[in-house]
Amino acid sequence: MMNIAFPAIAAAFAVPPERIRWVIICYVLTYAITSLAGGAAGDRIGHVAVFRAGVGLSLIAFVMGGVAAGFGWLLVARVVQGFAGGLIYGTSPALAVAGAPAALRGRRLGFLSGAMGLGFLGSLPAGLLVESVGWRAVFHVRVPLALIVLVWAFATRSEAVELERKPMLLGDVTRGPVLQAGALSFVARGAIFAIWLLVPFYLVEARGLGALVGGIFFMLTPLGTTVAAPLAGRLADRIGSSAPAVVGLALEAAGLGALGFVDGATPLAVVALALFVAGFGLGFFEVPNMATIMAAFPPGRQGVVAGVAVMGQIVAARSAAVGFLGAFAESLVVAAVAVAVACAFALVGARARR
């Protein structure tokens, strides 16, 4: 819900678009650091308890964001939200596969990724809220939702879904397959953040769309992820993880690459297709890749802050020289090339395991 509100937030606090990247970085950097810690804490005190704490902190963060008196206070709220997200992301994959046989692991992770993608469809109601009430509403509206989830989480019997607690060792995360899967996830998610950060400004400011219509276009990327994730999960259970992961990276690179060539006159249908394909590729890659990681060690989410920082720096450095559209195109091309390289490495790794 946040991203489509970025132009309104930038206008409200009189900050340039490149500074808005800190709204993402403060959230993503924090959860990238704390997600592994959240998973480790779950191994010691219980994953359900850590998940509940994450939802409770999310509730606090939404209240803080909704009443933020300045841009700095908004960033503080996002740090708190990131800490909460780390506790949630660090435990959700483990809870999703708790008690599942290996043959169903991909399907369960596909359902989880699809649910996360479905959550990103919040850009549609967020666009309506921004236009009718203002950007603060994207925080306010999530307060009762978080409260409902918190009550639900406490009503769940933890012993029914809790995992056997085993501490994770350093050797678990330094094995070749784990490192490769983590690196691929880092690139794929870092690249997709070029869309999360830049596309709202392209749709609202460069193309003159309202927040509501922009939200409709913006939700096409998570919609693609939502559609692809369950399909990829089933396919990974049947044929293995390597081939779906490679195909997913290739599709994501194609979508990002197409966005790198759009301008102010590009047909919106082309933009819509590229947004959907990029999201579909991410979903098709992420589930089998997550299955590879889950099969090797307790879950930990990979950070994407480097990708966000790189995209923001490109826009900041190049906007003055080539304008926003030029910087937007260059950023998406960089993201597409990064994913294409990751796809090549994944393909080589898949062939080597045959």
pLDDT along the chain (354 residues), means of 10: 85 85 83 74 79 94 95 95 88 77 76 76 81 91 94 77 51 59 75 80 84 84 86 83 86 90 89 94 84 58 40 52 62 76 75 65
Burial of 269 (0-12, 13-18, 19+ CB in 10 A): exposed
Tokens 């925080």, residue located = 139
205 is written with which tokens? 């400011």
Sign of CA dihedral 162, 163, 167, 173: negative
DSSP code string of 196-249: HHHHHHIIIIIS---HHHHHHHHTHHHHHHHHHHHHHHHHHHHH-SHHHHHHHH
Cα distance from N-terminal residue to C-terminal residue, the chain: 42
Do 74 and 136 meet the contact criterion of CB atoms below 8 Å apart? no
- Give the side-chain half-sphere CA count within 13 A for 347: 11
217 is written with which tokens? 């276009």
In angstroms, rounded to a whole number, what is the distance separating the alpha carbons of residues 158 and 47?
8
What is the pLDDT at residue 314?
A: 53
This prediction's pTM: 0.69
CB count, 10 Å around CB of 307? 25
What is the pLDDT at residue 75?
A: 95
In angstroms, rounded to a whole number, what is the distance separating the alpha carbons of residues 199 and 120?
14
Q: Give, in degrees to the nearest 5, the angle at Cα 334 between 318 and 220.
A: 105
- Give the side-chain half-sphere CA count within 13 A for 159: 0
Give long-range contacts, CB 8 A cutoff, 24+ apart: 311-314: 311/21, 311/193, 311/194, 311/197, 311/198, 311/335, 312/18, 312/21, 312/25, 312/197, 313/18
CATH superfamily to which 3-159+171-352 belongs: MFS general substrate transporter like domains (1.20.1250.20)
Tokens 């589930």, residue located = 287
339 is written with which tokens? 């994913």
Sequence-distant (≥ 6) Cβ neighbours of residue 219 within 8 angstroms: 120, 121, 123, 124
